[in-house]
Chain A
Amino acid sequence: MSSNPSTVTSALDRDLVVRRSAAAGEPDWLREQRLAAWDAFVRLPLPPDAGDEWRRTDLKSLDLASLRPLDPPAQKPEAPAGLVALVGDPAAAAGLRLVVDGAAVQSRLTPELAKAGVVFTSLEDAVRSHPDLVRPHLGSVVRADENKYRALNAAFWGGGTFLYVPAGVEVDLQLVGGTWLTAEGVALLPRTLVVAGDRARVTLVEVFGSSGGTARTFADYAVELVPGAGAQIRYVNLEDWGPNLWEVGIVRALVGRDATVNTLMIGFGAGLVKTNVESRLLGEGATSEMLGVLFGDGAQHFDYHTLQEHAAPSTTSDLLYKGALKDKARSIFSGLIRADQGAQKTNAFQLNRNLILSEGARADSMPKLEILANDLRCTHGASTSRLNDEQIFYLMSRGLPREIAVRMMVDGFFGEIFDRIPVETVRGWLSGAIERKMAGYV
């Protein structure tokens, strides 16, 4: 990647940033932010030179210069069947937004919630309609200069989502955002910002999918979660991208005093995923629950990098990531628990469990600890195993065909995660998706 990308063949240049921002009628402050991000993009190195965390996933063949950021379509497209299936029962959502190829095709919110001051809209609109809510936070949780991919997103994001819940407002039913890409050979750069006022409570489920194709397609996203004191944000990120799409993403929460963030990452699609999921517990009493479930087949490659950072006393984090791999799929789990000096009375737990279903599949696990506080409870564990032959035999001796017995055991493996997902539609999708991945496996 040359450091001077404004060559004739390149799809990315400074002018593009300015043109897109102008075309969207964005305020000056946002355009300036995007231009600063562009400068960072030019300056920052590509992996593997970007650091040790990029060592195990080979992104060399992703030619950023040739991938055009998606332009919103001229006409509002239809919601494809695939997206509808991902989203599940629309009645089960208190708010629903569907974005296809960067354009919003549907947007609704229960009137009571709108009256209570909840804002659920595109990030592009929110920048103009609610700048006082967006501007203080946008780009503050995930900064553009962290690495080249974050800079790319900060410069070119589009088709984004903004969710705001005022102080004290508790939303029981989940809000759902669905993003779908029909095109191939392009870069999709969604960005999500969730801001919850003190003691507010909300659940956001984001689902991602694409129509597939043969050309390498790229999704580079950033999700920023900002709960106020005592607030709770539950965030679900479900991706079932087509196999030609590579994802590089980040979900990060800054958790303040007595606030709680629950994240659930579901990785089933895409050819390659290199995504960070991070919680920074900055206020006393902050809590983070981090769940992850992935299922790789074919030649899929999943690389999840998590961070549980305890920067204040009496904070709690609890991480459970489970993955199943078959065929020649590969997963990498790199999870760091960090307790800064002064983070006394921290409780931190981390568990990574991998199930290998075929020869040739592989799971690498690197659970790390950096502990500078000493009055804390901190444990982590990792294991990689295969299906237990004796248990399969037992089930078969009870009359179950092998395929069913194996299916039951895989369900049992994921059961722990299911028990911790309170969103019915997500559980339903997950169950079906596991069944699809297991079809034909004996």
Chain B
Amino acid sequence: MAVTNPLGIDLDQYKFGFHDPEDKYAFKSRKGLDRKIVETMSHMKSEPDWMRALRLHSLGVFEKKPNPTWGGDVGQIDFNDIYYYVKPAENQGKTWDEVPADIKKTFDRLGIPEAEKKYLAGVGAQYESEVVYHSLREEWTKQGVIFLDMDSGLREHPDIVKEYFGTVIPPEDNKFSALNSAVWSGGSFVYVPEGVHVTVPLQAYFRINTQNMGQFERTLIIAERGSEVHYVEGCTAPTYTSDSLHSAVVEIIVKEGARVRYTTIQNWSKNVYNLVTKRAVAYRDATMEWVDGNLGSKLTMKYPSVYMLEPGAKAEILSIAFAGEGQHQDPGGKVIHAAPHTQSSVVSKSISKSGGRAGYRGLVKVYPGAHGSKCAVRCDALILDDKSRSDTYPTMEIDETDVQVTHEATVSKVSDEQLFYLMSRGINQDEAMSLIVRGFIEPISRELPMEYSVELNRLIAMEMEGSVG
């Protein structure tokens, strides 16, 4: 089914502004955002007209939309102080010596191998998993699985991208999806054909290119009927970047009987605004699972969502948030029941310490006609000292009588009895705190790939050092 104008963007309105971008190199290294930058970017990527038009349209939307007045404080973001296309060669020539000391120390403590350290710090070049990646790539090609960076996906499979891009998160959805739609670069394109089960998790860092830690990643995942795939991105190790804004968009379509799990662990450095729009559509008997770990960043606003559009669709959202000094984690999740006999479950565990602020912000929406649906939301917060803060902002809009929707939340501190018990068994206070916190998040951390949960446990141990509950 050919889709000529899926997003209703008038191509004529966005004809190419100039034909010979002679100063394209100047644009590359210029900060700030305007029409010329977007046009140049699109031209340099050799994109089809409809994508350029979409970018320019989105730029207009971004400029008109005001900042959100809820959630975290995004008023400090200076949109003119960002490189939207290619950063100047700041990463080339950067040496290991220039990486901040506390980052290096964390790497050591976590036992990160030398090569990976450099990669994460933006210093190194290739990563050793290149070899592993190649053999997996052959397997996927045989099955018809497409796993590319988004730029390549658009280039090699324009028809598929055109059919779905922006249909789950349109540019006008919010200010940051508009920004991403205008300047996106990098991210993943995943297409799993009918009936194919991808047994090995697809990992973001398998896509070897310099866009891996891009600020404006755009990911599109399409799981055809009966297929299964697990996508994993991010890492528990602190990810150092001088970029102050990370605004990604992830769109996922899970068709009949298919299953997709998307796992994210982010530990961005404490200067980063992490504002992400992630949304999935689940069709008949399809299952979508979001596993979301938010450890770093100065401010994270992220509400993975699942729209259940046909009977039997299922959604699960597991969210962990950790907020230390100077951090504000505002994660959550949205589940929309738009068909009968749909089920969802949201479990959120948040921890705040040393003045950090962690929370949960969510929506359960049940449309008329979604009878026989069930939803259970459970938010637990652990506040480790009297300087820290926890917020819970759930909204329930229920428009159907034959449903079961429940919401429960608790807020607590580490109990003195628990601590005493562990310490009386010879475990010192820091270790005891660490054990208790790990137990608190266990229902979610056990769903993480093993290497992540191992690193997560080590991170918690580090954070608990010197923290008296």
User: B405-421 vs A: 1/0 string, CB under 8 Å?
Assistant: 11111111100000000
A377 CB within 8 Å of chain B: yes
Stretch at the interface among A26-34, A134-142, A159-167, A383-391: A383-391
B397 closest partner in A (C-beta): A364
Other than the given A364-B395, A374-B383, A384-B403, 5 more pairs (CB < 8 A) read: A341-B386, A367-B409, A375-B386, A382-B406, A386-B401
CB-nearest residue of chain A to B398: A384
User: Does the CB pair B391–A369 fall under 8 Å?
Assistant: yes
Partner of B402, one of A52, A366, A375, A386: A386
Q: By DSSP majority rule, is chain B's interface helix, strand, loop, or mixed?
A: strand
Q: B57 within 8 Å of A by Cβ?
A: no
Tell whether, in the assembled complex, residue B410 and residue A366 are in contact, meaning their CB atoms are under 8 Å apart. no
Residue interface bits B348-373, CB-to-A below 8 A is 1, else 0: 00000000000000000000100000
Across the interface, do A368 and B392 meet the contact criterion of CB distance under 8 Å? yes
Give the chain A neighbours of B392 by CB distance below 8 A: 367-369, 380
Tell me if A364 and B396 are in contact (CB < 8 A). yes
Residues of A within 8 A of B411 (CB): 369, 371, 376, 378-379
B381 within 8 A of A: yes
> Closest A-chain residue to B378, C-beta based?
A381
Chain A residues, Cβ within 8 Å of B394: 365-368, 382
CA distance A362 to B366 in the complex (A): 10
A362 touches B383 (CB 8 A): no
| Beta-carbon contact of A366 and B388 below 8 Å | no
Residues of A within 8 A of B400 (CB): 356, 359
Contacts of A344 in B (CB 8 A): 386
Q: Which of B385, B401, B412 has most A Cβ within 10 Å?
A: B401
List B contacts of A379 (CB < 8 A): 408-411
How far, in Å, is A19 (CB) from chain B's closest CB? 40
Tally chain B residues at the interface, Cβ within 8 Å.
35
Interface 0/1 of B58-71, CB less than 8 Å to A: 00000000000110
User: Complex: how many Å from CA A163 to CA B368?
Assistant: 47
B143 within 8 A of A: no
| Least CB distance, A284 to chain B, in whole angstroms | 16
Query: Are A376 and B413 touching (Cβ within 8 A)?
Result: yes
A175 contacts chain B at the CB level, 8 A cutoff: no
* Chain A hits for B404, CB < 8 A: 383, 385
Contacts of A373 in B (CB 8 A): 383, 386
Q: Report Cα–Cα, A367/B403, bound state, in Å.
A: 19
Task: Provide the A345-364 mask, 1 if CB < 8 A to any CB of B, else 0.
Answer: 00000000010111111111
Would you call A52 and B70 a contact (CB within 8 A)? yes
* A-B interface, 4 closest residue pairs, ranked by CB to CB distance from nearest: A374-B383, A369-B392, A386-B401, A374-B413
Q: Which of A378, A381, A383 contacts B412 (CB 8 A)?
A: A378
A363 x B386 contact (CB < 8 A): no
Cβ of A371 and Cβ of B408 under 8 Å apart?
no
B445 to chain A, nearest CB (A): 22
Tell me if A342 is interfacial: C-beta within 8 Å of chain B. Answer: yes
- Is A370 interfacial (CB-CB < 8 Å)? yes
Show the binding face of A for B, using Cβ within 8 Å. Answer: 52, 341-342, 344, 354, 356-386
Q: Note all chain B residues with C-beta closer than 8 A to A369.
A: 381, 390-393, 409, 411
Q: A366-B394, A367-B394, A370-B391 are in contact. Are A378 and B403 (CB under 8 A)?
A: no
How many whole Å from A66's CB to the nearest CB in chain B? 31
Considering residues A359, A363, A369, which has the most beta carbons from chain B within 10 angstroms of its beta carbon?
A: A369
B381 contacts A382, C-beta separation under 8 Å: no
Cα separation A379 to B404 with both chains bound (whole Å): 20
- Chain A neighbourhood of B407, CB < 8 A: 365, 367, 380-383
Complex: chain B residue closest to A370, CB-CB: B391
Shortest CB-to-CB span from A51 to chain B, Å, is 10
Closest to A365 in B: B396
B399 within 8 A of A: yes
* Residue B384, interface by CB 8 Å: yes
Contact: A356 with B412, CB < 8 Å?
Answer: no
**A374-B391 CB under 8 A given contacts A364-B396, A364-B397, A384-B398:** no
Question: Within the assembled complex, what's the spacing in Å between the Cα atoms of A367 and B396?
Answer: 9
Q: With the chains together, A405 CA to B408 CA distance in Å?
A: 30
CB pair B396–A370 under 8 Å, yes or no, is no
Bound-complex Cα distance A124 to B413 (A)? 49
Q: Which residue of A lies closest to B381 (CB)?
A: A371
Is there an interface contact between B398 and A356, defined as CB atoms closer than 8 Å? yes
What distance in Å separates the Cβ of B343 from its nearest Cβ neighbour in chain A? 15
Q: When chains A and B are docked, how far (Å) is the Cα of A386 from the Cα of B402? A: 6
Min CB–CB distance B392 → chain A (angstroms): 4
Cα–Cα, bound, A52→B385 (Å): 30
- Residue of B381, B396, B401, B408 touching A366 (CB-CB under 8 A): B396
> Whole-angstrom distance between the alpha carbons of A113 and B359 in the complex?
51
Is the Cβ of A384 less than 8 Å from the Cβ of B405?
yes
Shortest A379–chain B CB gap in Å is 5
A342, A376, A377, A383 pick with most chain B CB within 10 angstroms: A383
Q: Is the CB of A372 within 8 A of B401?
A: no
Measured in the bound complex, the distance between the Cα atoms of B412 and A379 in whole Å is: 9
Nearest chain A residue, comparing its CB with the CB of B69:
A52
B389 touches A371 (CB 8 A): yes
Q: Which of B386, B390, B406 contacts A383 (CB 8 A)?
A: B406
With contact pairs A367-B409, A369-B391 given, residues A374 and B396 touching in the complex (Cβ less than 8 Å): no
Task: Give the distance in Å from the alpha carbon of A282 to the alpha carbon of B404 in the complex.
Answer: 37
- Complex-state Cα separation, A206 to B393, whole angstroms: 33
Residues of A within 8 Å of B393, CB to CB, are: 366, 368-369
Provide the bound-state CA to CA distance between A7 and B405, in Å: 50
